[in-house]
């Protein structure tokens, strides 16, 4: 049985690790000089070498040859995702007291350490504070923000970077040559871009695509790679950008509809557009405003409609009257092109921009009827709006946190879209709405808080 390429070409020494020289140089010197810390924290995105570096370190600390297929009694790997309870950590605390069997140090590698429960972290903290001399901890995580600061402060932290495209293409080219895989440079670049900085993902994709090559005399082309990865051809991406610049909504919708029918996901198109716009940023700086809304496509519960909305609005200097209702439908757009063109070219007197028509009570009523959980939060808030920006005063950090949560924020944007406010910026503020009267504001400041109310005569 053949070994997967990402395992076959996993680094065997710190010097072989690609793209993390800022880390491997420091660790190599420290190990060479016997400056060994009791705990290390390796953070960064997936597939960039954290686990490989942890395993290599564990062996080099003990002057052992690294062989991935062999295990060592004094190098223990723990997956925190499946061993995250307080009892698991208590068991670990008992075992760390036992001296190494044959090595100088007993090394514990805890992968995805952020998955530990709060009680487990508390149990681990004591061991990290006063570890036995023979123990070294190497913690690895893709989400350092979830780690308690008390844990982070007791480790030496190393931040891994996503691998840049050129380094990845060079390494993939080396692997392809070793494996006698004939593949074009353009195809390798597509694989590297699709992997988003993850070496492991890129090598796995190369492995997957190489299996499609039945005839060894042929070369894996850019077109074949695009089809396998579900990517749109570069010419299609450029055509979308040209159509946006030319204000041709008919062409934009036609291209997106065709890509959708061909199985290219809207999130892939959005990512490819972002990448291409970044390449064109110097020549076409006016398109930079598209990048932020395109980033939101992946977060949207209906990415296809969000993509059509972003690009459709970009083709027109003003939003169209029925566009918000059209784009908020739960069905994928399939309206005739002529109808969309009619909407996009409607005269100014037929509509007013959505944000200008914003009514707080309309939003409250809509959420009450359709999304009661969101309504229960918004009904406790106050607001200010200048037509393009909506400031929501939540009165507390608790409600601000709720509205900032991706589930609530995406639902709020959806509700605004469905009441005709498709292009409005939202800012949540964890305080009461400030009094408009300066004297009232001064009194509130003295009293340490308060809310302005209007009294109507009885």
Whether the pLDDT of residue 43 is over 90: the answer is: yes
Q: How much is the average pLDDT of 162-183?
A: 91
Taking the C-alpha atoms of residue 425 and residue 413, their distance in angstroms, rounded to an integer, is 9
pLDDT surpassing 80 at residue 435: no
Question: For residue 437, what pLDDT is reported?
Answer: 57
Confidence of residue 58 (pLDDT cuts 50, 70, 90): very high
pLDDT at 216 (0 to 100): 63
What are the CA-CA distances from residue 195 to residues 19, 46, 82, 102, 401 (Å)? Answer: 15, 10, 26, 40, 32
For the segment 102-120, the average pLDDT, to the nearest whole number, is: 90
Q: What percent of the chain has pLDDT over 90?
A: 26
Neighbours of 342 (CB within 10 A): 13
Distance of CA 387 to the CA centre of its chain: 30
pLDDT of residue 287: 87
Q: Where are the domains of the chain?
A: 5-159, 165-229, 234-350, 354-429
Beta bridge partners of 390: 385, 426
pLDDT of residue 331: 42
Distance CA 37, CA 30 (A): 9
Confidence of residue 188 (pLDDT cuts 50, 70, 90): very high
For residue 171, give the 3-state DSSP assignment.
Answer: helix
DSSP letter at 284 equals -
Average pLDDT over residues 174-198: 90
Alpha helices (H) in 113-164, listed in sequence order? 118-129, 149-152
Structure tokens of 150?
A: 């008390």
Least confident of 65-69, 220-224, 291-295, 318-322: 318-322
At residue 277, does pLDDT exceed 50? yes
- pLDDT of 451 reads 53
In whole angstroms, what separates CA 386 from the centre of its chain?
A: 31
Q: What is the pLDDT of residue 458?
A: 42
Q: What is the pTM of this model?
A: 0.62
The CATH code of the domain at 5-159 is: 3.40.50.300
Measure CA 279 to chain center: 21
CATH of span 354-429: 3.30.300.180
pLDDT band for 325, please (50, 70, 90 cuts).
very low
Q: Is residue 441's pLDDT more than 80?
A: no
Mean pLDDT for 366-390 is 86
Task: Report phi then psi at 26, rounded to 5.
Answer: -65, -45
Distance (Å, rounded) from C-alpha 306 to C-alpha 323?
A: 12
Cβ-in-10-Å burial (0-12, 13-18, 19+) of 138 comes to: buried
- Tokens representing 36 are 């060994």
Banded model confidence at residue 91, pLDDT cuts 50, 70, 90: confident
Residue 140, pLDDT above cutoff 90: yes
pLDDT of residue 357: 60
Residue 295 has pLDDT above 80, yes or no: yes
Placement of tokens 């950590």 in the chain: 89
Q: For the chain, how are helix, strand and coil distributed in percent, rounded to 5?
A: 50, 10, 40
Q: Could you tell me what percent of the chain has a pLDDT over 70?
A: 84
Task: State residue 442's pLDDT score.
Answer: 46
**pLDDT above 60 for 334:** no
Q: Which long-range contacts (CB under 8 A, 24 or more apart) does 53-57 make?
A: 53/11, 53/14, 53/17, 53/20, 53/23, 53/24, 53/27, 53/160, 54/109, 54/111, 54/138, 54/140, 55/109, 56/11, 56/12, 56/13, 56/14, 56/17, 57/14, 57/27, 57/31, 57/107, 57/138
389-393 β-sheet, strand order = 382-385, 389-393, 425-429
How many angstroms separate the Cα of 23 from the Cα of each of 54, 96, 151, 167, 172?
A: 12, 27, 20, 16, 22
- What pLDDT is recorded for position 263? 84
Q: Which CATH architecture has domain 165-229?
A: Orthogonal Bundle (1.10)
What is the average per-residue pLDDT within 159-171? 91
For the chain, what is the mean pLDDT?
Answer: 81
Instruction: Place 327 in a pLDDT band, splitting at 50, 70 and 90.
Output: very low
The pLDDT of residue 41 is 95
What's the length of the chain?
Answer: 458
């Amino acid at each position: 049985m053949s070994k997967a390429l990402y395992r076959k070409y996993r680094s065997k020494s710190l010097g072989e690790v690609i793209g993390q020289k800022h880390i491997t140089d420091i660790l190599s010197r420290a190990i060479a000089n016997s400056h060994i810390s009791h705990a290390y924290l390796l953070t960064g995105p997936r597939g960039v070498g954290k686990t490989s570096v942890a395993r290599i370190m564990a062996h080099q600390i003990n002057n052992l040859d690294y062989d991935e297929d062999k295990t060592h009694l004094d190098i223990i790997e723990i997956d925190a995702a499946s061993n995250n309870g307080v009892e698991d950590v208590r068991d670990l605390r008992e075992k760390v007291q036992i001296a190494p069997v044959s090595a100088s140090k007993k090394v514990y590698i805890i992968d995805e350490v952020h998955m530990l429960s709060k009680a487990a972290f508390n149990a681990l903290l004591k061991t990290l504070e006063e570890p036995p001399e023979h123990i070294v901890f190497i913690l690895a995580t893709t989400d350092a923000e979830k780690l308690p600061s008390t844990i982070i402060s007791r480790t030496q932290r190393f931040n891994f970077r996503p691998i840049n495209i050129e380094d990845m293409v060079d390494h993939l080219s080396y692997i392809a040559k070793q494996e006698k895989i004939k593949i074009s440079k353009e195809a390798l670049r597509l694989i590297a871009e699709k992997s988003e900085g993850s070496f492991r993902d890129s090598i796995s994709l190369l492995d997957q695509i190489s299996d499609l090559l039945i005839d060894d005399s042929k070369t894996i082309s850019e077109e074949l790679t695009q089809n396998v990865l579900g990517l749109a051809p570069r010419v299609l991406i450029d055509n979308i950008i040209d159509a946006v610049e030319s204000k041709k909504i008919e062409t934009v919708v036609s291209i997106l509809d065709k890509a959708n029918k061909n199985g290219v996901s809207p999130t892939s198109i959005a990512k490819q557009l972002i990448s291409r716009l970044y390449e064109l940023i110097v020549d076409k700086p006016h398109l930079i405003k598209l990048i932020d809304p395109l980033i939101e496509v992946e977060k949207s519960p209906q990415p296809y409609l969000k993509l059509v909305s972003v690009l459709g609005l970009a083709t027109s200097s003003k939003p169209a009257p029925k566009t918000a209702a059209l784009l908020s439908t739960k069905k994928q757009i399939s309206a005739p092109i002529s109808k969309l063109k009619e909407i996009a070219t409607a005269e100014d007197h037929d509509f007013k921009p959505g944000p200008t028509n914003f009514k707080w009570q309309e939003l409250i009523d809509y959420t009450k009827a359709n999304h009661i959980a969101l309504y229960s939060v918004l009904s406790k808030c106050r607001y200010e709006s200048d037509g393009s920006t909506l400031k929501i005063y939540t009165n507390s950090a608790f409600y601000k946190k709720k509205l900032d949560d991706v589930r609530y924020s995406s639902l709020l944007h959806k509700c605004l879209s469905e009441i005709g406010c498709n292009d409005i910026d939202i800012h949540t503020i964890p305080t009461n709405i400030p009094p408009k009267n300066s004297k009232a504001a001064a009194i509130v400041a003295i009293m340490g808080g308060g809310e302005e109310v209007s009294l109507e005569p009885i």
